[in-house]
A and B are shown apart, each in its own frame.
Chain A
Amino acid sequence: MIRFALGRLALAVPTVLGITLLAFALARLLPGDPVEVMLGERIADRQTYEQQLARLGLDQPLPLQYLHYLGRLAQGDLGLSMVNRRPVIDEFLALFPATIELALCALLVSVVGGVALGTLAAVRRGSWIDQGLMGLSIAGHSMPIYWWGLLVIMFFSVWMRDAFPALALPVSGRLDIAFDVVPVTGFMLIDTLLSDEPGAFRSAVRHLVLPSLVLGTYALAMVARMTRSSLLETLGQDFVRAARARALPPWRVVGLHAMRSALIPVVTVIGLQVGGLLGGAVLTETIFSWPGIGRWLVDAIYRRDYTALQGGLLLVALIVIAVNLLVDLLYGAIDPRIRHPRA
C-alpha cells in the first residue's frame, strides 16, 4: 500500500510542476506590461522603469524567472493583487470557505438525490418512473447551469414571492444583512452557530438551498445514472440472487446487499465531479452573488487583476490534483485489484 501511495504521489509531481509552468506562462502571456500596470500613469522616465523591472526580477532570463517564481510559491507567496495590493493567497483563503461550503452542499444534494433517484429507477426498471427519471437525468446533465440558476431565481424569488411568500427563498449572498456574524472559520453554517444571533443559522441554511441545488444538478444527474446502471448490474449477480432466495425482504436485498458493491463505481463519479463543481462554482457564484473564489476569479478578469487570476487558477488546479490523488488512494485502499494491477 505504501509503495502504491508513493507511486501515485510521484506521478503527481510532474503534473504539479506542469501546472506551475502553465500559471507562470499565463502571467507572461497576458496582455499589458506588468511594470506599466503597476506604475500606472506615473511612469516618469526610463530609469525608474528599469529599476522597477529589476526590482520585479523581470530583467532576468525566463528560466531564472521561473525558478524564482517556484521559490516564492514554495513559501506560499502568490504575489500581490494588482488591484488592491493585498497578498493573493490571503484573498483566496478568505473566500475559499464560501466555495467549499457551497460545493459540499451541492455534493450532498447530488449524492443523496442521485443515489435515491437512481435506486428508484433501478428497482422500477422499465416502468414510466424509470423512463421519466432517465429522461430528467439527460435534461439535468445537458442543463446550462447559468440558465437553470436564472429559472430557479425566477421561480423562487419572483413567482413564489407573489404566490407563497412564506416559501420564497433568498437568491443572493450568504446571509441576511440584518445579521452581524463575526467570521471565525469562514464557513457560514459554523460561524452562525458560534454567534449568538438568533435565526442567523436558519438564514444561512436558507441562503444555501438554491445555489446548492443549481450547482448540484449536473452531478445529481450523473450520480443517478451511474447508480441505476451499477445497481442493475449488481442485482443480476449470484450473491443477490442468493439473498433473494433466502427470502430476505426486498429492501434488505437492495439496500444492504446490492447497494454496498453497487456504490463503488458511484464513488468514482463523485470524485470526478470535484473539478466540475469548482468550475460550475464560477457560474453559480456569479448568478447568486455568492462571495467565493469563482466570482472572485471572474471579477479578477474584469478588473485585469492578473496576479489574482494566475494564483487562483494555480490553487484550484492543485486542489483538483490533490482530490483526485486522494480518490485514487482511497480506491487502492478499498480495492486490492487497483493496488496490484498485474496480479
Chain B
Amino acid sequence: MGGTLREVAAGLRGRPAAAAGFVVLVLLVAVALAAPWIAPHDPVEQFRDALLQPPVWSGGSWRFPLGTDDLGRDVASRLIWGARVSLAVGLAAIVLALVPGVALGLVAAFHPGWPAQLIGRSVDVLVAVPGLLLAIAVVAVLGPGLANTVIAIALVMLPPFVRLVRASAIAEQAKEYVVASRLAGAGRLRLMFDTVLPNCAAPVIVQATLGFSSAVLEAAALGFLGLGAQPPTPEWGTMLSTSRDYIERASWLVTLPGLAILVTVVAINLLGDGLRDALDPRLKDHG
C-alpha cells in the first residue's frame, strides 16, 4: 500500500493537470472542513431585508459577497456549506460502493461456480438500468433525503468495482506469487484479502477517484430533481433547482452553484485521469 502511495506521488509530479486537480480538491476539502469558521453567515438564516441581493461585482454589497437567494440567504455561505454536503455524500457513496464491491469481486474471482454466476448476472441487471434512473427508483423506495441519496448512488457505483476487482483478481491468481502462497498452505480468505487484494489496489484507486466525481454529479442531479437533499439543506443541486424560477432576474443563483459542481468534478476527473495514467499504463490515453 505504501508503495502505491509513492507511485501516486511520483505520478502526480510529472502531470501538471493532475497536480492542479489535486490542489483544487485539497482546497475544496479545506473549505468544506472549515465551513463553520469561514462562512460569513449561517447558511439557513434568512435576511428578510436583503432578498435577491446581487453579488458584489454587479452592484451588491460586501455584506453578501456572492449575493443572496430568494429567501435572503447568503449564497457564499450556502456554497461553502454545500461543499461539505457534496464531498461528504460523494465520499460516503464511494466507500459504501467500494467495500461490498471489492468483496463481491473477490468472491466472484475465487468461487467460479454459482457464486460467480449469481454475482455476474446481478451486476448485469444493475448495469442495464441507466444510473440516474436506478438512483431515482431507489430513492422512490426509500424516500428522498441525503442518507438515501448515498445509498442510491452507492448501488449505482457498485457494478464497476465488482467487475474490476473480479477481472484483476482472476489475472493475479495465475501469477507465481499467488501459486506459491497457495502451495505454502495459505487459506482462501488469506489468499483473497492478503495476497491478491493489495495487488488489485491500483485500478480500484483509479475507479474510486473517477467514481467519486460521478457520485458528486449524481447527488447534485437528485438534489436538482428534488429527490436528494431537502430544503433548507445547503446542497449545490438543490440550490440550482430553486434557481430556475429566477433565471431572468438573478443569474448568479444559476451560475454559482453550477460552477461549484463543475470545478469540483473537473478537479476530481483531472486527478483521476492522472492517476490512471500513472498507475495503469495499459489504460493510458494515447497523447
Contacts and interface: CB of A to CB of B under 8 A. Distances in A.
Contacts of B265: 142-144
A53 interface: no
A12 B269 CA distance: 33
B237 interface: yes
A22 B224 contact: no
A123 to B, nearest CB: 14
A158 B262 contact: no
Contact of A275 (B130, B241, B270): B130
Given A31-B143, A278-B133, A297-B133, A146 B270 contact: no
A138 B266 contact: yes
B248 A158 contact: yes
Given A232-B287, A233-B286, A280 B140 contact: no
Interface stretch (B24-32, B47-55, B91-99, B120-128): B120-128
A112 interface: no
Nearest to A293: B133
A280 B136 contact: no
A320 interface: yes
A58 interface: no
A154 B248 CA distance: 7
Interface in A8-27: 14-15, 18-19, 21-22, 26
Given A142-B262, A233-B286, A26 B137 contact: yes
Given A26-B137, A144-B220, A321 B128 contact: yes
B131 A15 contact: no
A298 B225 contact: yes
A39 B41 CA distance: 49
Interface in B229-250: 237, 240-241, 243-244, 247-248
Nearest to A231: B286
Contact of B141 (A26, A150, A157): A26
A147 interface: yes
Contact of A297 (B131, B136, B226): B136
Nearest to A28: B141
Given A26-B141, A233-B286, A298-B225, A316 B129 contact: yes
Nearest to A147: B258
A22 B121 CA distance: 12
B208 interface: no
A142 B286 CA distance: 20
Contact of B225 (A19, A30, A153, A286): A286
A102 B247 CA distance: 24
Contacts of A154: 247, 251, 254
B227 interface: yes
Nearest to B249: A158
B224 A283 contact: yes
Contact of B266 (A139, A275, A280): A139
B285 interface: yes
Interface residues of B, number: 47
Is chain B's interface secondary structure helix, strand, loop, or mixed overall?
helix
A201 interface: no
A15 B128 contact: yes
A313 B132 contact: no
B221 interface: yes
Contact of B254 (A150, A157, A317, A320): A150
B165 interface: no
Contacts of B137: 26, 309, 313
Interface in A58-102: none
B261 interface: yes
B121 A15 contact: yes
Interface string A156-187: 01100000000000000000000000000000
A95 to B, nearest CB: 15
A144 B269 CA distance: 13
B18 to A, nearest CB: 11
Contacts of A18: 121-122, 124-125
A195 B262 CA distance: 43
Given A276-B130, A298-B225, A317-B129, A30 B121 contact: no
Nearest to B251: A154
A134 interface: yes
A283 B258 CA distance: 14
- Give me the 8 closest cross-chain CB pairs, A-B, nearest first: A279-B130, A147-B258, A18-B125, A142-B265, A279-B132, A15-B124, A229-B286, A317-B128
28 contacts: A18-B122, A29-B141, A30-B140, A138-B266, A141-B269, A144-B220, A144-B221, A144-B224, A144-B237, A144-B258, A144-B261, A150-B240, A151-B254, A151-B258, A157-B247, A229-B285, A232-B286, A276-B131, A279-B132, A282-B133, A283-B224, A286-B225, A297-B136, A298-B136, A298-B225, A301-B140, A316-B130, A316-B133
Interface of A: 14-15, 18-19, 21-22, 26, 29-31, 125, 134, 138-139, 141-144, 146-148, 150-151, 153-154, 157-158, 225, 228-229, 232-233, 275-276, 278-280, 282-283, 286-287, 297-298, 301-302, 306, 309, 313, 316-317, 320-321, 324
Given A139-B262, A150-B243, A309-B137, 7 more contacts: A19-B128, A21-B125, A146-B221, A150-B254, A150-B258, A229-B285, A279-B130
